[in-house]
Structure 1
Amino acid sequence: KDWVDRGALLALRLLELDDLSCDGPSRGGPALPCSVYHCAIAPFLHFDGPVPDQLYAVGGRNEDQEALATVEMFDTWHGRWVQRPEMLTKRAGCAAATLPNGHLLVVGGYDEGGIVDGLLQTCETFDPAAQRWSKAPAQLKRARWGHGCAVLGGLVYAIGGCSLRLGAPREEEFMETLRDCEIFDPAAGEWQACGRMNTPRAGARIVTMGDHFMAAVGGCDDVFGRAEILATIELFDVRDGRWSVLGAQLSTPRTTAAVAPLDERE
C-alpha cells in the first residue's frame, strides 16, 4: 500500500504544470526544473508505512452502555480524528498496548453480553500498515475487564481488573476484583501469570517508570462489594517480579483516573 498525504501529489502535479505553462508560472520568476518536484519535494509526501505517533481509541461503551467495536485514530499529520477498521469483537473495559513490531494489542474486556456473560479472555491485534485486525493466537490465562496494560522491557503486562471466581457459575454475585497479573511475551506468543499485587485493583491506571518499574495507581479494591476507592500506589520491580506498596499515597482516593509520566525531554 502506498502511504501518501491525500491530495498532496495532485497538488504537486498541478503546481508543476503551472510552472511549465506557456504563460509562465503564476508565482512569477523562472520555472523550476522538474527534478526539483520529483526528487526534492515528492519524497517528503510518501511514506514507507503509516505516519508514526498516531493515537488510537478502541472499543469502550456508548451512551446506551453498549459495547463498541469502533476504532478512531487521531491523525497527527492533519490534526483530526478519522475512522479506522472496526475490531473483530465488541469490547468495553478492555486495555491496549503497542507491541515491539508496531502492532496494537487489545486485551480482554467484555462484549455485548455484558460484564458477566460477555466476559472476554480473547485478544486481538491491529496491523497499522495493512489496516487489518487479526485474532491473537494467545488468550489470557484468566478473562478480565477493568484491567490496565503497559509495556515494560518488550513484554506486555495485564494488571488487575474484574473476573468470575474460578469455577463459579456465570452470575454477578460470583464476580471478584483481581490481584492477579499476567505477562505476554511476543517472542514466545503466550500469556503467563506474574507477581500478584498486594491489593485487588480494578480501574487502576498503569504507567511505566524508567526501565525497571511499573506503577499501579489507585483503583477500586472490591467492585462488587464495599467498593472502596483507593489512594494507594503499588510499584512493580521487573528485576525481582514483586509488587510493593509505596509509603506516599494520593491525597484524594481515585479510580479510572488519567496517569502519565513526564520526563525532561522537550
Structure 2
Amino acid sequence: MEFTMRLRKIPSRTKNDEIIATNNKSSKKRKKSSSFVCRRCVCSGFQTSVFDFPPVWSEFRKKSQLCDGLVKCEDGTEFKIHRAILAAVSPYFKALFTNSINRDQKEANEARISIPADMFQIVLDYAYTGSCNITKSNVKDLLKYADQYQILDVVQLCCNFLMDELCPANCLEILKFASQYFCKDLIEKGKLYIRHNFPRLLKDSYEFYNIPSHHLEAILKDDELNVKTEETVFDAVKMWICYSPLKRKVHLSNLVKCIRLGTLTYDSVLEISRWHLIDENAECKEYLQDVLAVLGGLNQDDDVDYIHNYLFRPRIPFTVVFAVGGWSAGSPTNFLETYDSRADKWLFSCDTDSSPRAYHGLCNLNGLIYMIGGFDGNEYFNTVKCFDPVHHKWSERSCMYYPRCYVSVVVHHGKIYAMGGYNGRTRMNSAEKYDPEKNQWELIPPMQKQRSDASAGTVQDKIYIVGGFNGQEVMNSAEVYDTVTRQWSFISQMNSARSGVSLVSFHNTLYAIGGFNGYTRLASGEKYTPDVSDGWTSISDMLTPRSNFATVILDDYIFVIGGFNDRFVSGSTTINYVEYFDTESNEWFDAASMNVSRSALSACVVHGLPNAKEYTYLRASISPLGPGADCGNNR
C-alpha cells in the first residue's frame, strides 16, 4: 500500500522550533502567487502562516542550479542542495549550515550523514515539494532517520501513516516501534486501538506472545479494555503464560489479579481455579479461594462498592446505547437513558432535550445522534435535532420537507434516509435523504406503498422497508430501494402483517421482530437474506410480545427495548423490559430493564466515545456534579 503524504500542521517538538517561531513573528506573510502551489506549512511545527512551495524550487533541484551545498550519504552518494531549503525543514541542518553552535566558525556548505541515499531522496522530496512518498516498506526506516536528523514534519507524516495502518495484527509492533522514538500521538492512538480491539488482537497478533509481562499487566488492568466478559481476560493470561510456561508462570499471580473476577459467576470462577497452573501456584490458589468465598457469601441485597472494589468494578463499554424520548404514563417524554452493557445497568442522563417527543426516528452518524420528526401529543414535527455526546449539546438541523411521525429512519453511506410516516392527515409514501455536510434534505423517489409505523434497514447498497399501516390495514408487504438506480421494487412479503415492527440488519440478514398484527402484540420474528432467501423464515419468539419498541445491535446481539404490550393487563401498556437475541443459538435472553416504562421510543449506539465513562456506571467516580451526573434513580 502506498501513499503520497501531504502537508498538514503539526505541534512543535523542540526548543529550536520555538526559537525559529520567535524570529518568524516579525516576518510578514507573503502574498499568494498564482504560480505557486499553496499549502498549509508543516515544515516547522510552530508555523501557522501559509507557506509556498514554488515549482521553480524543484526545477533548480532537478537542474542543479543555484545550489550552495553538498550532502554526502553513508553509501557515498552525493546530493547538491540549497542549504536554506534543507535548513527550513530541519533544525539539525539549520544549526549545521549556519554554525549556530560554533558562531566563530564559517558557515558550512557540506554535510556528511549516515542516511541511505534512497531515504535522503524522500527527505529532499519533502523539503522541495511539501510532500513525500511513504510506503509500508519504507516508513520505519524513514521515521528512524527523520527522527535522527530532526526532520520533524516527516516524522509526523510517518506517524500519521502508521496510525492509518493500525490493525489487530500489527498494533503491538507499531506501538513498540513508536515508543522507541517517543511518538506521543502514535503511542496514544496505538494504546487506544489495543484497548478497543483486544479480542481481535488475541486472534490475529503473533506479537502478543512476545509482549513483556508489565505491558500485558497494564493492558489487562485498563478500565477501557473492550471485552464482553472477564473470561476473555483469563484466556489472554492463559495464552501468554502457556507460550513459555516455565519462564512465565512466575508472573501468573500478578496477571490473575488483573481479572475482575467479581463480575463473573461463581461457577465460572470455580472453573478458572481448576486450571492446573493456578492449582500448582500456592499464591494464586489462595487468592481464588478467597474470591470464591466472597462470591459464595454474597446475597442479592448485599451492598458492594462496585466502583472502587477492583474485584467487582465493571469495564467501560466501547459501545454505549442511547434511548431517547417515547410515550410513558399517557404522555410523551424527553427522557434520555444510556445502557452500560458491562454493568448491565440503565442510567438516566441529564442531557435531555427540552421538548418531549415520541414516534420519532433516531440514528448515529459520525458520532452525532440525530432525532428526526416525531409527535409531542399536539404537533407533528418535520424538525431535526442533533445531540453531540462528547460536548453534551443539542442543536437544530435543517427541517425535512414534510412532518413525519411513525417515521422509518436509516443511515446509508453517510446520508440519513427518512421514509413514510404520518403527517397528521395522511399516511405517506414520500421519502427524503439528508446530507450532513450540506445540512440539506433532498427528496428521493416515493415508495410504492404508503407506510407509517413501518421499519427500515440496509444491506449493501439497498434500503429495505417492511410492514406498517396505510390507514386501513396492517401490512405484511416489503420493498427495497436501490440507491444506485434510485428505484423502489417489491420483495417477498413477510409471513405476518406487522405495524410497529422493528427491522434490523445484521450480518447481511434482515430480522423483522414483533409488532402489532391488527389484533394483538407479537412476540414472533422472521428473517430474510437478500439475494439468498426465497422468502421469510421464522425465528424464536421474544420473551415478551411488544410493538413500537427500539432495537440496536450491541456486542453481536440484537437488543429490543421497551414498547407496547397487551399480555399483562386489560388493554395495552408501556413496558421497560429489555431482552437480546443471539442469532447463532436462536435464543432470547433477559437484560436489565430501563428505569422508565415507555413505548414509541428510539435508540441507537455510539462507538468509541472518548468520554464513554460519563454515560456508564463508573461515571460516579468522575464527579457527582460533573457531566453525566446522576439525574435520578438508576437501576
TM-score using structure 2 length: 0.31
Task: Say if 2:404 is the partner of 1:87.
Answer: no
Flag the 1:187–1:251 CA change in 2: closer, same or farther, 3 A. Answer: same
Over aligned residues, Cα RMSD in angstroms? 2.6
Letter matched to residue 36 of structure 1: F
Is contact 2:461–2:484 with CA below 8 Å preserved after alignment?
no
**For 1:128-185, what per-residue CA distance to the aligned partner results, in whole angstroms no more than 9, with x for missing partners?**
111011221x110011100001111221011100014xxxxxxxxxx10000001000
Give the residue type in structure 1 aligned to 2:381. Answer: L
Amino acid at match of 1:191: W
Deviations 1:60-115 (A, max 9, x none): 10132x21011011224423221111111111111111222x111110111132xx
Aligned to 2:439: 131
Residue of structure 2 in register with 1:244 after alignment: 537
Please tell me whether residue 55 in structure 1 is matched to residue 362 in structure 2. Answer: no
Aligned equivalent of 1:235: 527
Once the two structures are superposed, the pairs formed by residues 217-236 of structure 1 within 5 Å of their partners are 217-222=513-518, 226=519, 228-236=520-528
2:448 counterpart residue number: 141
> Where does 1:248-259 land on structure 2 (aligned, <5 Å)?
248-259=540-551
Structure 2 gaps of 5+ residues are 1-17, 23-42, 50-152, 154-364, 557-606, 609-635
AA at the equivalent of 2:527:
L
Pick closer, same or farther for the CA change 1:34–1:112 going to 2, 3 Å. farther
C-alpha distance in structure 2 between counterparts of 1:193 and 1:90, whole Å: 25
1:38–1:181 CA distance, 2 compared to 1 (3 A): same
2-structure distance, mates of 1:34, 1:82: 37
Mapped to 2, the partners of 1:259 and 1:121 lie a distance apart of 23
Shift of 1:241: 4.6
Give yes or no for the alignment of 1:97 onto 2:442. Answer: no
Match of 1:46 in 2: none
SS of corresponding position for 2:386: strand
Higher strand residue share: 1
* Letter in structure 2 aligned against 1:119: R
Q: Give distance in 2, aligned partners of 1:235 and 1:135.
A: 30
CA deviation digits over 1:194-246, x for unaligned, max 9?
A: 111000001111111212x1111111011xxx3x0001011112212521111
Match of 2:46 among 36, 42, 46: 36
What is the DSSP-based 3-state SS (H/G/I as helix, E as strand, rest coil) of the residue aligned with 1:36?
A: coil
Matches of 2:422 and 2:441 in 1, distance apart?
Answer: 18
Offset of residue 34 of structure 1: 7.8
Partner of 2:424: 112
SS, match of residue 156 in structure 1: strand
Change (3 A) 1:133 1:199: same
Identical pairs, percent? 24
Within 2, Cα distance between the matches of 1:140 and 1:241? Answer: 22
Pick 1 or 2: higher relative contact order, CA cutoff 8 A, min separation 6: 1
* SS in structure 2 at match of 1:157: strand
Counterpart for residue 12 of structure 1 = none
Distance 1:36 1:185 in 2: 49
Shift of 1:124: 1.0
Match of 2:494 among 197, 204, 219: 197
Q: Is contact 1:161–1:203 with CA below 8 Å preserved after alignment? A: yes
Once residues 78 and 180 of structure 1 are traced to their aligned partners in structure 2, the CA distance between those partners, rounded to angstroms, is: 42
Partner of 1:214: 510
Provide the C-alpha distance between the structure 2 equivalents of 1:75 and 1:36, rounded to a whole number of angstroms: 31
Match in the other structure for 1:151: 458
CA distance in 2, matches of 1:146, 1:119: 9
Letter in 2 for 1:163: N
TM-score (norm 1): 0.71
Matches of 1:38 and 1:221 in 2, distance apart? 63
Select between 254-263 and 230-239 the one with higher mean Cα deviation. Answer: 254-263
Q: What amino acid is the match of 1:80?
A: K
